[in-house]
Structure 1
Amino acid sequence: MPSEPVPLGFVFRSRAKEEKAPVADKAPVNFSKQSRDPQAPKGRPTPKRSEAQSQRRSVANTPLTRKDASKRQREERRAAMERQRQALAGGDERYLPARDKGPVRRFARDFIDSRFNVAEFFLPMAVVILVLSMVRVGSLQNIALLLWLVVIVLIVLDSIVSAFRLKKRLGERFPNEEKRGAVAYALMRSLQMRRLRLPKPQVKRGERP
């Protein structure tokens, strides 16, 4: 009996399956699951220590906003002013203003604070003289004018003597140090009342600096 004809579609599908079968056999099959740290978030391994540190540094180095930067500057300025205020009250050299720092300036302050200065009594005497000059009595007004002249002459003479002595002492005490402006700094301090001077006096009157 003659055999039944084979459909062409069946022949082509069989060949296609035979050609794909070796390729599928050659593909490696990996049934193992990816190991994961039990404490790590799902689907993400635990970062290494170096990576964590670099992430923390990147967060720390994140640029601040203008508002945060201004706030930080205000806090730093406030802390610096507080340290400076305490230094002026206690004489701590580390936080004093630049004009008050150094052994030369400290010696100049101690030199002025250890003696009586005519200039430090200028304000109280000026008040007295002003009151006398306001009284409409000719003799009192003449006395007030005379007192003005006496006070000015005494301040000038005392300042000259103080400057001469201080300059000599500075030359003996600090022969190799920069002393520019120290005498003028001391004379300006002598114009202030002792209790109002900053930094606060660290020596008593009559004590040799």
Structure 2
Amino acid sequence: MPPHPVPLGFVFRSRAKEEKAPAADKAPLTDSKQPRDPQAPKGRPTPKRSEAQTRRRSVANTSMTRKEAARRQREERRAALERQRQALASGDERYLPARDKGPVRRFARDFVDSRFNIAEWFLPMAVVILVLSMVQVPALQNTALLLWLVVIVLIVLDSLVTGFRLKKRLAERFPAENKRGAVAYALMRSLQMRRLRLPKPQVKRGERP
């Protein structure tokens, strides 16, 4: 009895299933029970433990970098203050404060430092007058009051002469420069005793700036 013929469609379907089966076996298995990280954005897979550790380590490194940056800024500020202090003593223009920089301000300082200013003796004379006024002697108290008036008048006259001469010299020496505030800057410097002035005087008395 001849064998029962096998349909061709059944043979092709069986071969197709056998070829798809190994591919399905090779597909990677996903662990659907893996807990989702609460910090992970919705719709994205939970990061692996190594990735989370790397992220935490990078955050720690970032915070350390900020601390180092703050420490570096403090060191730079201290170095800038030290350079400024040395510049005030030496007259180095590069590191002077903004109010002392520039050729106009330097000339104003030299002009005041080269002269004998009555105003620079204001504090010592004020102390002497104060002591005399505290003595319970009418003659000394009257003398102290007279000295006080004389000192005030002399300082005002000396400041007016200094300001007028300095303004004229600045106009001749720096016609195109900004000279705003230079005269007031020089007069404030003249009120200080020479040894206490900052920046330190760079010219001697009587030396023409």
Q: TM-score, normalised by structure 1?
A: 0.69
The alignment of Structure 1 onto Structure 2 pairs a total of residues equal to 155
Measured in 2, the distance between the counterparts of 1:174 and 1:71 equals 43
The aligned residue for residue 166 of structure 1 is 166
Closer, same or farther: CA 78–140 of 1 in aligned 2, 3 Å: same
CA deviation profile, 1:189-209 (whole Å, cap 9, x unmatched): 000000000000000000000
Measured in 2, the distance between the counterparts of 1:62 and 1:84 equals 33
Measured in 2, the distance between the counterparts of 1:64 and 1:160 equals 59
CA deviation profile, 1:134-186 (whole Å, cap 9, x unmatched): 10001100111111100000000000000000000000000000000000000
Offset at residue 68 of structure 1 (A)? 2.9
Offset at residue 67 of structure 1 (A)? 3.5
Do structure 1's residue 106 and structure 2's residue 106 form an aligned pair? Answer: yes
The aligned residue for residue 189 of structure 2 is 189
Q: Trace 1:38-187 onto structure 2 (pairs within 5 A).
A: 64-187=64-187
SS state at 2:82 partner? helix
The aligned residue for residue 42 of structure 1 is none
Identity of aligned residues (%): 86
Measured in 2, the distance between the counterparts of 1:143 and 1:170 equals 40
Measured in 1, the distance between the counterparts of 2:63 and 2:168 equals 55
Measured in 2, the distance between the counterparts of 1:65 and 1:140 equals 69
Measured in 1, the distance between the counterparts of 2:175 and 2:64 equals 50
One-letter amino acid matched to 2:85: R
One-letter amino acid matched to 2:104: V
Measured in 1, the distance between the counterparts of 2:75 and 2:105 equals 30
Q: TM-score, normalised by structure 2?
A: 0.69
Q: Trace 1:190-205 onto structure 2 (pairs within 5 A).
A: 190-205=190-205
Could you list the runs of 4 or more consecutive aligned residues of structure 1 that deviate by over 6 angstroms after TM superposition?
Answer: none
Closer, same or farther: CA 101–141 of 1 in aligned 2, 3 Å: same
Closer, same or farther: CA 64–100 of 1 in aligned 2, 3 Å: farther
Offset at residue 66 of structure 1 (A)? 4.7
SS state at 2:115 partner? coil
Measured in 1, the distance between the counterparts of 2:191 and 2:202 equals 17
SS state at 1:184 partner? helix
Offset at residue 63 of structure 1 (A)? 6.6
Closer, same or farther: CA 64–167 of 1 in aligned 2, 3 Å: farther
CA deviation profile, 1:83-129 (whole Å, cap 9, x unmatched): 00000000000000000000000000000000000000001101100
CA deviation profile, 1:53-100 (whole Å, cap 9, x unmatched): xxxxxxxx9675553333222211110000000000000000000000
The aligned residue for residue 38 of structure 2 is none
Structure 2 unaligned residues grouped into runs of 5+: 1-14, 20-60
